[in-house]
Amino acid sequence: MKAIQMTEVKKLHVIDAPMPVCGSDEVLLKIMAVGVCGSDIPRILKFGSHVLPIIPGHEFAGEVVEVGKDVEGWVSGDHATAAPLIPCNECEWCKKGIYSLCEGYKYYGSRNDGAYAQYLAVKAANLVKLDPATPFDWGATIDPAANALHAFYRAEAVPEDTLTVFGLGAIGLFAIQYAKALGMKEIIAVDIQDDKLEVARQCGATYTVNSKKEDAVKALMDHTGGKGTTITFDMSGSPIAQEQAVLAAGKMGRVVFLGISHAPLTLSDKAVDNILRYQLAIMGSWNSFSNPFPGKEWTEAARLMDEKKMNPDLLISHKLPLEELPGIFEKIDQRAIEFNKIMFYPNGPLE
């Protein structure tokens, strides 16, 4: 089969790889669509992978073509996406059902071969069924959508909440779509790119702020009559936005950090004061899993896509054959491409 192999940082090759062998607890998935995750970019261009050489790629969907002998509930022809984490099921966090914090996990596309390939053998426990009418490239975006939903569950969001999202990558845009699907009336989007703010409005944002052009906190406080929003998400990983997320939260607000910054954070005296006086809860959100594995993040995101209540088409900026993947990463490295979700089709374009 055709696959993309990474041998070292920035070195991607189109290879002819052996067909994966389907284990007794696995299904063989014919990969119909696989997306580039934000995390694939530093993995491939900067830090390298946990294991080398490796076939990267962990946001995928496809068709079941073979079913392992111990697998129940799946037949050839089923459509599925899969959670990329393979939990150890033995550590204290797995035993508590908090799989995002597993201490002995494996991971498709970073510790195990992934889906930048025509086929992948996947643990049946990781599979999430897709309606046959749901496009495979929608299914391949359930990973970032599930990451967005996990942040809402961390914040214990209810429809009466109001929301500000800082950072409009795929997870931020799905957060806006999910807030709308939940029925939230005030959904504020903040980014430094006007085109992303435009997509955010299409996704359901009720008010948008370009924080490069204006003071985001002042703008959204003016807009909300000084109340801020009851939930704020930082999905950018920018320390500036992290502080703004604290300042934008109203009384009893929940502030969720999801974007990775790799940087220190300094908070102004006003921000520190607000944490106390407004009784803010500041929390982290990591990955997308809950009990029973892979969790309601995955099943709920799949249901919303099956019911057309989330629309990944608004996020997919490129649709390409798998062979073009090494060239695309070169362009990303040279900052020669503007993109949102880049999608590859290892078995040809979708019908």
**Which C-beta is closer to Zn ion: that of 82 or that of 219?**
82
- Using rule CB under 5 A, residue 170 touches Zn ion: no
Biggest CA pair distance of the chain: 61
Question: Which two tokens mark 168?
Answer: 């409009």
Q: Are 233 and 164 in contact (CB under 8 A)?
A: yes
Nearest-angstrom CA–CA distance, 180 and 198: 16
Is residue 54 within a helix (H) or strand (E), and if so which, with residue range? Answer: none
> How deeply is 129 buried, as exposed, middle or buried, from its count of CB atoms within 10 A (0-12, 13-18, 19+)?
middle
Smallest gap, in angstroms, from Cβ of residue 288 to Zn ion? 9
- Cross-strand pairs, 80: 62, 129
Smallest gap, in angstroms, from Cβ of residue 150 to Zn ion? 12
C-alpha distance across the termini of the chain, in Å: 21
**Which residue in the shown chain puts its C-beta closest to Zn ion?**
37
Smallest gap, in angstroms, from Cβ of residue 341 to Zn ion? 11
**Which C-beta is closer to Zn ion: that of 146 or that of 189?**
146
Nearest-angstrom CA–CA distance, 254 and 157: 9
- Name the one range near Zn ion by CB under 5 A: 30-38, 118-126, 164-172, 301-309: 30-38
Q: How many residues bind Zn ion (CB under 5 A)?
A: 8
> How deeply is 307 buried, as exposed, middle or buried, from its count of CB atoms within 10 A (0-12, 13-18, 19+)?
exposed
**Which C-beta is closer to Zn ion: that of 91 or that of 282?**
91
**Which C-beta is closer to Zn ion: that of 248 or that of 329?**
329
78: Cβ–Cβ under 8 A, 6 or more apart, which residues? Answer: 63, 64, 129
Question: Which two tokens mark 5?
Answer: 């192999």
> How deeply is 279 buried, as exposed, middle or buried, from its count of CB atoms within 10 A (0-12, 13-18, 19+)?
exposed
Smallest gap, in angstroms, from Cβ of residue 344 to Zn ion? 14
Smallest gap, in angstroms, from Cβ of residue 283 to Zn ion? 21
**Which C-beta is closer to Zn ion: that of 141 or that of 232?**
141
- Using rule CB under 5 A, residue 342 touches Zn ion: no
Q: Kindly give the pairing relationship between strand 163-166 and strand 79-82.
A: unpaired
**Which C-beta is closer to Zn ion: that of 38 or that of 253?**
38
**Which C-beta is closer to Zn ion: that of 51 or that of 252?**
51
Smallest gap, in angstroms, from Cβ of residue 214 to Zn ion? 31
Nearest-angstrom CA–CA distance, 126 and 2: 23
- Name the one range near Zn ion by CB under 5 A: 29-37, 127-135, 270-278, 298-306: 29-37
Smallest gap, in angstroms, from Cβ of residue 241 to Zn ion? 20
In order, the DSSP letters of 59-108 are EEEEEEEEE-TT--S--TT-EEEE-SEE--S-SHHHHTT-GGG-SS-EEB
- Map the footprint of Zn ion across residues 82-121, applying CB under 5 A: 87-88, 91, 94, 102, 104
Q: Kindly give the pairing relationship between strand 85-86 and strand 106-107.
A: antiparallel
Question: Which two tokens mark 325?
Answer: 């993947």
Smallest gap, in angstroms, from Cβ of residue 37 to Zn ion? 3
- Map the footprint of Zn ion across residues 136-165, applying CB under 5 A: 143
**Which C-beta is closer to Zn ion: that of 37 or that of 205?**
37
**Which C-beta is closer to Zn ion: that of 87 or that of 172?**
87
Smallest gap, in angstroms, from Cβ of residue 170 to Zn ion? 9
- Using rule CB under 5 A, residue 37 touches Zn ion: yes
Query: Which residues lie near Zn ion (CB under 5 A)?
Result: 37, 87-88, 91, 94, 102, 104, 143
